[in-house]
Amino acid sequence: MRGFARGREEGRRIDLPNWSMLVKVTASDTLGRLTVLEGRMGPGEPGPLPHVHEGHDETFVLVEGRLRFRVGDGFHSAVAGETVFAGRRLAHGFGNPFDEPARYVAILTPSGYEDYFAEVAEHVARTGTAPSRTLTQELMARHRTVLAPHLPDPGSVPS
């Protein structure tokens, strides 16, 4: 492993409609131990369907704006400066139901799940549409992830 500095706009870009990620620290940088990415999510973006990872943990640090998280059976509207942790085998998801864009840093341990988002982005670029629920399940399964049971969010309408 080696140390390095990446510039503000440097990294592996993953673009989805109304949502982009810049992978700043990759699996190859850390021998698969860690991925760090900067995400930008536009207003009204529902984000990924709630899911459960078998093989990695995720930590989110909100830098700007707000995001709505599901972690386990609870929900939380995170604001800039807050950190949200979702350990493996715990149902979670997030989106931006608010009127302003949000920016966050995500830390994945160990690395690898960024490849799922790259596969989704490739599908969108090729077809112009988001993957179906069935294809989403297939793509997630490749990365040791399954969809979580639906849980209604009592605070889903922003105030």
Q: Provide the whole-model pTM.
A: 0.92
Number of H helices and number of E strands within the chain?
2, 11
Q: Which fold has domain 12-145?
A: Jelly Rolls (2.60.120)
Residue 58 pLDDT grade (very low, low, confident, very high; cuts 50, 70, 90): very high
Task: Tell me how far apart the alpha carbons of residues 133 and 47 are, in angstroms, rounded to a whole number.
Answer: 14
Q: Indicate the residue type of 73.
A: D
Question: What are the domain boundaries of the chain?
Answer: 12-145
State the pLDDT at residue 141: 96
Instruction: Decide if pLDDT at 157 tops 70.
Output: no
Nearest to 104 by CA among 25, 11, 148, 40: 40
Mean pLDDT of the chain: 94
Q: What is the DSSP letter of 35?
A: E
pLDDT in tens, 99-123: 999 999 999 999 999 999 999 999 9
pLDDT in tens, 67-92: 999 999 999 999 999 999 999 999 99
pLDDT in tens, 34-46: 999 999 999 999 9
Mean per-residue pLDDT, 37-57 = 96
Mean per-residue pLDDT, 42-71 = 97
Task: Tell me how far apart the alpha carbons of residues 102 and 100 are, in angstroms, rounded to a whole number.
Answer: 7
Neighbours of 103 (CB within 10 A): 15
State the pLDDT at residue 159: 43
Q: Indicate the residue type of 105.
A: V
Question: Is residue 111 within 8 Å of 35, Cβ to Cβ?
Answer: yes
Instruction: Decide if pLDDT at 10 tops 50.
Output: yes
Radius of gyration of the chain (CA): 15
Continuous segment of H or E residues that includes residue 69 = strand 66-71
Mean per-residue pLDDT, 10-28 = 95
Instruction: Decide if pLDDT at 158 tops 70.
Output: no
